[in-house]
Structure 1
Amino acid sequence: MMTNPSTQSNSVISPLGAEDVVIRTENVSIFYGTFQAVRNVFLDVPKNKVVAFIGPSGCGKSTLLRCYNRLNDLIPSARVEGKITYQGTDLYDPKVDPVEVRRRVGMVFQRPNPFPKTIYDNIAYGARINGYKGDMDELVERSLRGAALWDEVKDKLKASGLSLSGGQQQRLCIARTIAIEPEVILMDEPCSALDPISTLRVEDLIHELKQQFTIIIVTHNMQQASRVADYTAFFNAEAGPGGSRFGYLVEYDRTERIFNSPQQQATQDYVSGRFG
């Protein structure tokens, strides 16, 4: 399926068929003050699948990603037009608590950012803040196992999270996200700071995690998108008034179609390395 900034229909564009939609993006535009960063995006995210956002720098991939857990709220000049729903609820309804949104829609950032605390406390921190009443030891172990890290750290849970390698730190951050029991995990270029071996471990982990979670990943790595994603959305940027550039969704479909038989020439050019 495809979109075009000048020919958008009013319906949600989706290649998902009968699959459950977790997040629905309807005619969404994103602004920073008077600058329009993203224009008219329609996109459905299916349950328990991995969706990759690809495209050149400056096309709005990360900007849109941050709207799904309302991180853009932290930027005073940012505003969202259109509608984003999560399980049918408008995420930007004034009655919706953004803190609760961020509990249900977790985030893993580009660079590993463990807290300057023990490995144990890195995992337990969010659960404590959210008033978790269960067995904390069990939650920590379950989360670390879920991030394929337990066997590597089980004997040093009191060591600093900062003492781990870069790849281990990123899996620790994924475990920390899992511990607050979200339903969706957003990943903003989670492997860009990692070596190839650590990258493959995180990719293997993503395959395992989609059994329990819905995952949206921003990546500049075409091979990574083709390896981990069930669906891929290709974004591009276009010059707007006054020479400014805005991002828009060019095409969204099953990953194998995006890489093997895209409908748009721009998509073909990007995935084949002709630009970007």
Structure 2
Amino acid sequence: MFKDQTTMEYTQDCKSLETLETIFALDSVNVYYGRHKAIRDVTFTIPKNRVTALIGPSGCGKSTILRSLNRLNDLIDSFYLKGKVTYCKQDLYASNVDPIEVRKRIGMVFQKPNPFPKTIYNNVAYGARIHNFKGDLDELVETSLKKVVLWDEVKDKLGESGFSLSGGQQQRLCIARTIAAKPDVILMDEPCSALDPISVLKIEELINELKQNYTVVLVTHNMQQAKRIADYTAFFNAETNEKGKKVGFLAEYNNTKIIFENPTNLDTKNYVSGHFG
């Protein structure tokens, strides 16, 4: 079912961004931690039902931008954002917007699998329960596990702990948990970095399937992964300010084929070709 890594190809979208429906728009976004400006002047749009990869060297702000899309950075006391981030044309940081509702619609999958200390069934059902899901919970759990190609592997042990699964299975369980909450968007922060190569291939194929129904935005340090699965790629870079601290910025953004084969920015070319990073 899963293709060999050397031959695996996914269908990518090379349409111009201007022709696609936008789900996120960032306009002159500056991110601060206390007095330190960590990210400066980021402006770009993210299309609906596509896979968008955020790449760049460590410290350039990829994860900070990702977490700005569902207001997870709000949990850091010193964080504040200037500029505008819109989701479906609504200002995510408006005073009347509930961050909890934002995170319901914009789910998050983290770098390391983080199943809850619960059964496999209750891991998947957790989000639905806290959001007062009124439908058939058994059906929701089964459907969510099928979407992440995990149902056949766990259907006879739903009452066992989520920790009993392998690392790759745990990550797919966490994705199923996210899907069960019925989000529109799935954010992924290096979802494959802690996994073995076979599990990575399964997650990548899953991501390619997810974009049929969800918008996926992921951070990755794996250039080949971005090249394989992302329709669009944003390359972030960093500069050092007068105090010796890094300030991240968006250097280039385009469809993935252009970013990897014909970038306009020299730093982009050097990064994707492995000359720095």
TM-score class normalised by the smaller sequence = over 0.9
Match of 1:129 in 2: 130
3-state SS in 2 of match to 1:22: strand
Amino acid in the other structure paired with 1:241: E
Match of 1:208 in 2: 209
1:239, CA displacement in angstroms? 1.0
Match of 1:165 in 2: 166
Looking at structure 1, the residues matched to 250 and 182 of structure 2 have their Cα atoms a distance apart, in angstroms, of: 30
Give CA deviations for 1:118-147 in whole Å, capped at 9, x if unaligned.
000001111000000000000000100111
Match of 1:94 in 2: 95
Match of 2:26 in 1: 25
Match of 2:11 in 1: none
Match of 1:156 in 2: 157
Give CA deviations for 1:75-106 in whole Å, capped at 9, x if unaligned.
01000110000001000001000000000000
Match of 2:70 in 1: 69
Match of 1:265 in 2: 266
Give CA deviations for 1:163-189 in whole Å, capped at 9, x if unaligned.
000000000000000000000000000
Looking at structure 2, the residues matched to 61 and 15 of structure 1 have their Cα atoms a distance apart, in angstroms, of: 23
Contact map agreement 1:39 1:246 (CA 8 A) in 2: yes
3-state SS in 2 of match to 1:243: coil
Looking at structure 1, the residues matched to 206 and 120 of structure 2 have their Cα atoms a distance apart, in angstroms, of: 19
TM-score under structure 2 normalisation? 0.94
Looking at structure 2, the residues matched to 242 and 75 of structure 1 have their Cα atoms a distance apart, in angstroms, of: 22
Looking at structure 2, the residues matched to 151 and 23 of structure 1 have their Cα atoms a distance apart, in angstroms, of: 35
1:43, CA displacement in angstroms? 1.2
Match of 1:5 in 2: none
**1:225 correspondence with 2:234:** no
Dislocated runs of 4+, deviation >4 Å:
none
Looking at structure 1, the residues matched to 71 and 149 of structure 2 have their Cα atoms a distance apart, in angstroms, of: 28
Identity of aligned residues (%): 63
Match of 1:119 in 2: 120
**1:79 correspondence with 2:75:** no
Give CA deviations for 1:11-70 in whole Å, capped at 9, x if unaligned.
xxx950220000101110100001111110011010100000000000000011001000
3-state SS in 2 of match to 1:238: strand
TM-score under structure 1 normalisation? 0.94
Gaps of 5+ in 1: 1-13
Looking at structure 1, the residues matched to 228 and 17 of structure 2 have their Cα atoms a distance apart, in angstroms, of: 19
Amino acid in the other structure paired with 1:199: V
Looking at structure 2, the residues matched to 164 and 194 of structure 1 have their Cα atoms a distance apart, in angstroms, of: 13
Gaps of 5+ in 2: 1-14
Looking at structure 2, the residues matched to 185 and 25 of structure 1 have their Cα atoms a distance apart, in angstroms, of: 17
Amino acid in the other structure paired with 1:31: Y
3-state SS in 2 of match to 1:106: strand
Amino acid in the other structure paired with 1:131: N
Amino acid in the other structure paired with 2:240: A
Looking at structure 2, the residues matched to 51 and 198 of structure 1 have their Cα atoms a distance apart, in angstroms, of: 21
**1:105 correspondence with 2:106:** yes
Match of 1:238 in 2: 239
3-state SS in 1 of match to 2:243: helix
Match of 2:7 in 1: none
Looking at structure 2, the residues matched to 271 and 141 of structure 1 have their Cα atoms a distance apart, in angstroms, of: 40
Contact map agreement 1:15 1:252 (CA 8 A) in 2: no
3-state SS in 2 of match to 1:242: coil
Contact map agreement 1:48 1:214 (CA 8 A) in 2: yes
3-state SS in 2 of match to 1:17: helix
1:241, CA displacement in angstroms? 2.2
